[in-house]
Chain A
Amino acid sequence: MKTKARKRPAAGARSRPGKVWQLRLYVAGQTPKSLTALSNLKKICETHLNGCYRIEVIDLVEQPERSNRDRILAIPTLVRKLPQPVRKFIGDLSDTERVLVGLNLQAAD
């Protein structure tokens, strides 16, 4: 699961039509926390972004040099690259409400 991208047509995106969300999830190996984070992320995206997103999963165990770019310390970390501004979330994304507030998706719900 080096990179896992899902791309769907922009049609149907409720919150920001015409925009593709770029999300990057940093994990370190297949730890329970990483797996939880990924499944939580997918759930949130499916629910609120309506397929209009792209998730990149970076495993630092395989690509340690990539930790520098987004200054990753905590694992798992989710980085919202687009839309601007860049937002960072640390933790397994189990606090859905905070994720939604952070992603500015709460209002849409």
Chain B
Amino acid sequence: MKSNLSKTTGPAGHLPKCPTGIQGLDEITSGGLPRGRPTLVCGSAGCGKTLLAVEFLVRGATQFGEPGVFMSFEETDAELKANVASLGFDLAGLVREKKILLDHVYIERSEIHETGEYDLEGLFVRLNHAIKAIGAKRVVLDTLEVLFASLPNEAILRAELRRLFRFLKGEGVTAVITAERGREALTRHGLEEYVSDCVILLDHRVNDQIATRHLRVVKYRGALHGTNEFPFLIGDDGISVLPITSLGLNHKVSTGRIATGIPRLDVMLGGRGFFRGSSILLTGTSGTGKTIIAANFAQAASQRGERVLFFSFEESPNQIIRNMHSIGLRLEPLVKRGLLRFHSARPSLYGLEMHLATMFKEIAAFQPHVVIIDPITSLMNSGTESECKGMVTRLIDYLKAGQVTSLFTSLTVGGHAPQQSESAMSSLMDAWILLQDYEGNGERNRVLYVLKARGMAHSNQIREFLISNRGIDVVDAYIGPSGVLTGSARAAQGALERAAVLASQQEAAQLKREVERKRTALERQIGGMRSDYETEALELRRIAEQAGTRTFVLGTERAASGRLRQADIKVAGNTRVNGRHGKVN
């Protein structure tokens, strides 16, 4: 018994799950709905209950080989087929292939006379028949609560509903039951009382004129699930729930670099530009050149043969191309070569989630190396701060997972202090470049600096940059007494510095000449002294010679006179005489 019990609970100790195939929902519920049990999907009108249910069946039939029965209490078969055809679901085809069975149950209260005891065996028979007919594994009942309006006796109905859910469990089908949202309870007629395994709540809120749908797993018996409210949207390929927290931080990272298209900005960023696959934030007030720098980056990347996707929420593609032409960027040929693609949309066109889904779709289709979003702040206005942060997180995660370098421009309003939205976003960004205006001296100049750049040694200098018809140029920095100098002040300071250099050069040259002159003078002096010396030395030699000659002559004279006198005198140079007469000494 014990071993049997452990066997039925499964090796992982989890309930068996039935994957819905709906994007994101399986991630939130870590695998899908509880298999073989009913799940309640409740929500107010127009929040996508029926659609979720239909998608559950269609995905089951097409992706998981599980046929399904759709029992509709509201819409007719034809209506249902038409409604979901817009999402690309070929319900009619699946019905023909006997993968899905549609059954429209309809009761008009005015037609019905209650005349005594009854039960809903008819419904059971139909359901059972439908399940057996196609071997259904999935069942949808949409919307069961209509019965409360049609059948007068609520006591019977409640008893029968209880029996119905037991029946569904007994059949082992995974069922989705939709219900209207009640005022205080989850559902109007308290269906949650019967369906206790899994309850999903859908919600459609209008925030600042923009509607966003949310999904929340209220309850999931015996399983872990994300309890947060997740935004979801209905796109042209069905529902996609966008979980924020289900994505882990485990992206691959690249050490490759990507040049900015502005050589001197590359130098500021450790010499080689941004990291490939990193997220870059470019903030500045209006008119500081965000779009220009972004476009420059785009051009540089696509000229290297990389694909660039440019999302513009302010300007149309043609307008950007024309405007960038004025600063010497030729984007049109790159667009024609298919390396650069623009996607323009008004931020207020639809909600944040829809924008995100559109962007995901575009990115998936184009497979870009670089994505530019200009500006992200326009999108920020179409949702609350936390929604926006969530959206940016998901977008960055998505891009990083694909090693796509992303550049976001962000418009700051007034002042130079970073806005709240920026500081919220900045933690997600790997590099942050700040563009600023410098007003003063009767002019307005643009400067930029690298506020942060993760993982690289970057310049901390505030640099002025010029936008001319040859593009962007980061110019030399001049620091004045009151900070960095820009514009004409920088030019003046430049001139001043050049003059100073010239002056010091001249001074140095003069000094050199002086030294040279001194050296020449010295050499001349040395020459004079040497010639004096030589003259004196000559004189000295002459005197010495004269003295020698005189001594010799004197000696000779003395010897001669000694010989003459026969004197015993040493005579120099006459050794024989000396030797002969030595014994005498």
Contacts and interface: CB of A to CB of B under 8 A. Distances in A.
Given A73-B107, A75-B119, A92-B116, 15 more contacts: A28-B122, A64-B125, A65-B129, A67-B122, A67-B125, A71-B105, A71-B107, A72-B122, A74-B119, A74-B120, A88-B113, A90-B113, A91-B117, A93-B115, A94-B117
A9 interface: no
A91 B116 contact: yes
B280 to A, nearest CB: 62
A98 B115 contact: yes
B129 A74 contact: no
A78 B120 CA distance: 14
Contacts of A101: 113
A64 B115 contact: no
A95 interface: yes
A60 interface: yes
Interface centre among B124, B125, B126 (most CB of A within 10 A): B125
B359 interface: no
A18 interface: no
Contacts of A37: 116
A93 to B, nearest CB: 5
Nearest to B126: A67
Contacts of A95: 114-116
B113 A74 contact: no
Given A64-B129, A67-B126, A99 B113 contact: yes
Interface string A67-108: 110011111111000000011111111110011011000000
A73 B121 CA distance: 7
A26 interface: yes
A73 B116 contact: no
A101 B121 CA distance: 26
A95 B113 CA distance: 10
Interface of B: 103, 105-107, 111-126, 128-129, 147, 151
Contacts of A54: none
Interface centre among A33, A74, A99, A101 (most CB of B within 10 A): A74
A84 to B, nearest CB: 13
A102 B118 contact: no
B115 A74 contact: no
Contacts of B107: 71, 73
B490 to A, nearest CB: 85
Given A67-B129, A71-B105, A92-B116, A77 B122 contact: yes
Contacts of B114: 89-91, 95, 98
Contacts of B118: 33, 74-77, 90-92
Interface of A: 26, 28, 31, 33, 36-37, 40, 60-61, 64-65, 67-68, 71-78, 86-95, 98-99, 101-102
B152 to A, nearest CB: 9
A88 B129 contact: no
Contacts of A73: 105, 107, 120, 122-123, 126, 147, 151
Nearest to A59: B125
Given A68-B103, A71-B106, A73-B120, A94 B115 contact: yes
A60 B125 contact: yes
Nearest to A74: B118
Contacts of A60: 121-122, 125
A33 B119 CA distance: 9
B119 A92 contact: no
Enumerate the 10 nearest inter-chain pairs by beta-carbon distance, A residue then B residue, closest first. Answer: A91-B116, A64-B129, A75-B121, A94-B116, A72-B122, A102-B113, A92-B116, A91-B115, A28-B121, A60-B125
Contacts of A26: 122
B126 A99 contact: no
Given A60-B122, A65-B129, A67-B126, A33 B117 contact: yes
A76 B106 CA distance: 16
Interface centre among B115, B118, B124, B129 (most CB of A within 10 A): B115
Contacts of B147: 73
A68 B126 contact: yes
A37 B121 CA distance: 14
Given A28-B121, A64-B125, A92 B106 contact: no
28 contacts: A28-B121, A28-B122, A36-B117, A37-B116, A61-B125, A64-B129, A65-B129, A68-B126, A71-B106, A72-B126, A73-B120, A74-B118, A74-B151, A75-B118, A75-B121, A75-B125, A76-B118, A88-B113, A90-B118, A91-B114, A91-B115, A91-B117, A92-B116, A92-B118, A93-B116, A94-B116, A95-B114, A99-B115
A88 B111 contact: yes
B259 to A, nearest CB: 69
Nearest to B112: A88
A94 B118 CA distance: 11
B574 to A, nearest CB: 171
Nearest to A34: B121
